[in-house]
Amino acid sequence: MTDTFANPWTPREDIRITSVRAITTAPEGTALVVVKVETNVPGLYGLGCATFTQRWKAVETFVNEHVAHLLIGRYPGDIGDLTRLIAFTGYWRGGPVTNNAISGIDQALWDIAGKRAGMPVYELLGGKVRAAADTYLHASGRTIDETLGDAERLIEEGQRFVRLQQSTPGGGGYGAPRVPTEYPDAPYRDGWSARDYLRRTPALFEAARDRLPANIELLHDVHSRLTPKDAIWLARALEPYRLFFLEDVLPPEHWDRLPEVRAASPLPIAVGELTTSFTDAARLISGGGVDLIRSHVSDVGGLTPAKKLADLAEVFGVRTAWHGPGDTSPIGAAANVTLDVVSPAFGIQEGHVYNEATHDVFPGTLRIVDGWLTPNDAPGWGIDLDEVAAARYPAELSGHDAWAAGVRRPDGALEAP
């Protein structure tokens, strides 16, 4: 009987995929999904990041029920064919659930390829063009003073790049703690006001330039909450403070207006963590609206498409800043830094300091040292998964949902998180 899903060539070696499983663990409370692909060669398996923390059960089911049977019996070296098979058999393509599932497989197969070759993945991609990736971490606080105090702590630890986020009433101002209401007469007293945010943010950066060393690079994440005109206003207001980048000024629905925003100010514009298709990310790069592309690698389908995006960015003079928050597994973080060291288009890497429980679950998890991230030299990603430890941290249905539902305007209208 012919196997409809088999590719029509004979594998170079008789190595076969024997099992494909999604494993979810939450050692920091945030659900992390990884895919484990096992083979008939004893001890030869790979791990890939498939973390869509808000909808982790959907990714788990997608991998275990819809993907595993397509791959069992296949040759793990045919990465491009296997990942296209997953995409095309669904007919409708793209989206975070599909792409995270594909990424889990894609990265696990690259891990296997590295282990077979006895090389880290960065060498399979052509090798290093830099020793390590410079990172930025997040400083936040209820007040300007608290935010800058947090930044000083990070600078003390060796960071040269810090993202500054300050609370504004209601929803916190993205990335900063929630503070008490300031709109007692409004229908929703604990609302978040874009006008108020626009007024406060330049003051934060003015104070930062006064207080922090001049060589420290400053970043800021708007988290997609502005209109194009407000975005231009903010970019211009922040010009004197020489930001390294201004992130996600517009929601994805208005990305066609990015060229206008970018042209209005010399401040570099970084966009892309909400891209959920390779082609959308490619169009951001080629469309003239971004200075840095910061896709979440698993949301565009894994290492293979992200490497193509890095190459495209190189051609267009755009730099990379791959999304790397706490809802990226340590395998995903390793994929990010792999891209960083192989690509001439590298701009900066968002870092996350994982807790010790995460290091127990994922032995080999990278640590930021003096602000730098350096990939493992071990074959593949050089990161393992201790399944017994992982099971000690079961995931719950996402706390991120509650956070995302928590931002409303003073008039009560739901705001993008």
Q: Which residues are catalytic?
A: 174, 223
Q: Nearer Cβ to ligand GCO, position 125 or 218?
A: 218
Coil, helix or strand for 103?
Answer: helix
Give the closest residue to 165 by CA, choosing from 135, 117, 213, 201.
201
Q: Nearer Cβ to ligand GCO, position 272 or 301?
A: 272
Closest separation in Å from C-beta 411 to ligand GCO? 24
**Distance from C-alpha of 231 to C-alpha of 235, rounded to nearest angstrom:** 6
Closest separation in Å from C-beta 115 to ligand GCO? 29
- Could you say which residues in the range 179-238 bind Mg ion, by CB under 5 A? 221
Residue 150 binding target from Mg ion, ligand GCO, none, CB below 5 to 8 Å by type:
none
Residue 28 interacting with ligand GCO (CB under 6 A): no
**Distance from C-alpha of 202 to C-alpha of 198, rounded to nearest angstrom:** 7
Q: Nearer Cβ to ligand GCO, position 364 or 399?
A: 399
Token pair 């290093």: residue: 128
**Distance from C-alpha of 175 to C-alpha of 147, rounded to nearest angstrom:** 11
The Cα angle at residue 312 between residues 306 and 315, in degrees rounded to 5:
150
Residue 299 interacting with ligand GCO (CB under 6 A): no
Residue 350 interacting with ligand GCO (CB under 6 A): yes
Tokens of 392: 């000690």
Closest separation in Å from C-beta 326 to ligand GCO? 7
**For the chain, how far is it from start to end, CA to CA, in angstroms?**
52
Contact present, 339 and 307 (Cβ < 8 Å): yes
Residues 307-346, one symbol each (x = binds ligand GCO by CB under 6 A, - = not), give ------------------x-x-------------------
- Residue nearest ligand GCO, Cβ-based: 325
Q: Phi, psi at residue 47, to the nearest 5°?
A: -125, 140
Q: Phi, psi at residue 187, to the nearest 5°?
A: -55, -35
- With CB under 6 A as the contact rule, the residue among 55, 178, 223, 262 that binds ligand GCO is 223
Coil, helix or strand for 34?
Answer: strand
- Could you say which residues in the range 34-93 bind ligand GCO, by CB under 6 A? 53
Number of residues that bind ligand GCO (CB under 6 A): 8
Q: Nearer Cβ to ligand GCO, position 38 or 350?
A: 350
Tokens of 129: 């063009």
Closest separation in Å from C-beta 143 to Mg ion? 22
**Distance from C-alpha of 370 to C-alpha of 67, rounded to nearest angstrom:** 41
Helix-then-strand count for the chain, H and E = 15, 12
Residue 172 interacting with ligand GCO (CB under 6 A): no
Give the closest residue to 157 by CA, choosing from 351, 4, 309.
351
Number of residues that bind Mg ion (CB under 5 A): 1
Q: Nearer Cβ to ligand GCO, position 122 or 205?
A: 205
Contact residues toward ligand GCO (CB under 6 A) are: 53, 221, 223, 273, 325, 327, 350, 400
Contact residues toward Mg ion (CB under 5 A) are: 221
